[in-house]
Amino acid sequence: MSEFVYYVGASLDGYIAQDGGGLGWLEKFDGVEGLGDSYRTFEERVGCVVMGGETYEWIREHHPGEWSYSVPCWVFSRHEHSPENGADVVVVRGDVSEFAGELRRDAGEKDVYIVGGGDLAGQFLAAGLLDRVIVTLVPVALGGGVALFGGRALSIPRDFRLEGVTQREGTVELDYRVA
């Protein structure tokens, strides 16, 4: 059965982007040996991607004319968004739990990749749908920005167990599974 997996890079102080979506601080680690291989290995197990509207627009703005995903993409947003040419994109409104079955169906035997942002990942976490978190911490402190889980308080804390740790040139990839 497919799992909901949040694969993300974060600063030491728990942010995935600067205010306004800036990722320059993270992109300077793109050349770290093994990070790209880790992502490609993860991506092979992805059957469906999920993202928020701001993440969708950020990807379109920063990579015009090219769509990164060959699998179905679901965009959770309160706003209208035009589809990227040739992309299998569905824009929806509502609670993530309402769409969990359809997301799993689209993923087939593979996983549902929660691309971001933090608020959307926090919604999956709060709904008890997040099965796994793979976070790569980079040695940068931002002091603010987009929080790893959107800064939303949980009514019930969620426990995770550490499945793996990989260190690469100052970065640390942590692989957690829900306990």
Residues near 3 by Cβ (< 8 Å), separated by ≥ 6?
111, 112, 131, 132
Q: Which residues contact 45 (CB under 8 A, 6 or more apart)?
A: 110, 111
CA 108 to each of CA 77, 99, 101, 138, 139: distance values in angstroms, whole numbers, following the listed order:
24, 14, 11, 32, 36
What pLDDT does 86 receive?
Answer: 73
- According to the model, what pLDDT value does residue 5 have? 98
By CB neighbour count within 10 A (0-12 exposed, 13-18 middle, 19+ buried), where does 17 fall? Answer: buried
* Structural domains of the chain, ranges and CATH numbers in brackets: 4-13+22-133+171-178 (3.40.430.10)
Q: Which residues does the chain have with pLDDT short of 50?
A: none
Q: What is the pLDDT of residue 82?
A: 80
Structure confidence at residue 74 (pLDDT):
97
Specify the pLDDT at position 80.
84
| Confidence (pLDDT) at 63 | 86
Q: What is the pLDDT of residue 1?
A: 82
How far is residue 48's CA from residue 58's CA, in Å, rounded to a whole number? 19
List, for residues 46-96, the tens digit of each pLDDT value: 999 999 999 999 899 888 888 889 999 999 998 888 877 778 999 999 999
Model-level pTM? Answer: 0.95
* Per-residue pLDDT, 12: 97
pLDDT given for residue 68 in this prediction: 86
